[in-house]
Amino acid sequence: MADRLGRHGVWTLAELDGKDFPGVPLAVLGYPVGHSISPQMHNGALAAMADGWPEAREWRYHKLEVPPEALPDALNRLFEKRFRGLNLTIPHKVLALEHVVGIDPVARRMGAVNTLKRLSSGYFGYNTDGYGFERAVREELGIGLKNEVVILLGAGGAARAIAVQCLESGCAELWVGNRSAQRLSTLLEILAHTALDKARLHGFELARPPHDLPNRGLVVNATPLGLRPDDPPPIDISRFDDAARIFDTTYGVHESSLIRSAALRKMRSARGLSMLVWQGARALEIWTERAVPAEVMKREAEVALQ
């Protein structure tokens, strides 16, 4: 099967024809999806869970490359093949909203789903990104979101989930910066429905940070800058006090320029691998309705990145 699926073990829609998936299949859908390390994380956790829950040996997590226009067909075919759970990554998190039979209230406020669970009538949507972010910040940086000042950089899907989570967890202030003024405005309009106190919510252009932007608090990079080793930091870190904490949602075998800059200043920082682990652990909890060994998932993710 490894040869047929290629180097990254990715299924295509065409390869689903005539293929049976015994046991309880799971999958991540994306375009592209070859880089995903979710199968290693989930299959490693399921193997560990089998010691106390033998049924876990029947569960298996796969990768499926699905172009955005093919998502409705993919969901129908995977439902027919009895895939118990699905994770969605770029570009499917928003597209899937129109093709599920129900949406968790938190996911609805975030305007995106990244986790689908099979019901008798179709797939039900959840979003575990915000949960993964909050757990990662607590575990890696030792702080909660309640009463925290958050400076969020970016206005994409991940930023939307993080912003809603910060507001719902009671952050003191939320500052959102983005390069595109139009995209920033759209996100702020969405967030205004979640922010009970509108005075807590601020927007700014990344190219021109305002003079009153706080220099302490939690700085979160939710932009793509950091995916490549030579990417510049999304904001000049020198404007922040040494007491500020830095969380970069990007991850990989290298450290981003933002994380490197924070290390030179001896600022406490963390990268996004822990967020990936915790959102994945929550998804597996939703599907299995059992406790999930997040430490195993983290170990498997670190090995996969090597």
DSSP string over 109-141 = HHT---EEEEETTEEEEE--HHHHHHHHHHHHH
Nearest residue to 149 (alpha-carbon basis) of 255, 241, 226:
241
**pLDDT range class, residue 5, cuts 50, 70, 90:** very low
Residue 195, pLDDT score: 72
Which residues lie below 8 Å from residue 58, measured CB to CB, with a gap of 6+?
22, 23, 24
Q: Give CA–CA dist 305/109, Å, rounded.
A: 32
Helix axes 157-168, 129-141, angle to 10 degrees: 70
Q: What is the CA radius of gyration of the chain?
A: 20
Least confident piece of the model among 27-31, 145-149, 223-227, 290-294: 223-227
Q: What is the dihedral of CA 36, 37, 40, 43, to 10 degrees?
A: -50
- Which residues belong to the active site? 93
**pLDDT range class, residue 42, cuts 50, 70, 90:** very high
Q: What is the pTM of this model?
A: 0.92
* Average pLDDT of every residue of the chain: 93
Q: Strand 201-205 vs strand 122-126: parallel, antiparallel, or unpaired?
A: unpaired
Task: Report the share of the chain in percent with pLDDT over 90.
Answer: 84
Residue 90, pLDDT score: 86
105 compared with 196, residue with greater pLDDT: 105
* Backbone phi and psi for residue 144, each to the nearest 5 degrees, phi listed first: -100, 175
Task: Give SS3 for 60.
Answer: strand
Nearest residue to 284 (alpha-carbon basis) of 104, 113, 87:
87
Nearest residue to 166 (alpha-carbon basis) of 212, 202, 204, 205:
202
Q: Quick check: 6 pLDDT over 50?
A: no
Residue 107, pLDDT score: 94
Q: Give CA–CA dist 219/123, Å, rounded.
A: 35
Per-residue pLDDT, averaged over 19-39, amounts to 94
Cis omega (within 30 of 0) on the bond before 214?
A: no
Per-residue pLDDT, averaged over 228-250, amounts to 93
Q: Give CA–CA dist 190/178, Å, rounded.
A: 15
**pLDDT range class, residue 193, cuts 50, 70, 90:** confident
DSSP letters for 73-94: HHHHHHHHTT--EEEE-TTHHH
Q: Quick check: 178 pLDDT over 70?
A: yes
Residue 185, pLDDT score: 94
Residue 247, pLDDT score: 98
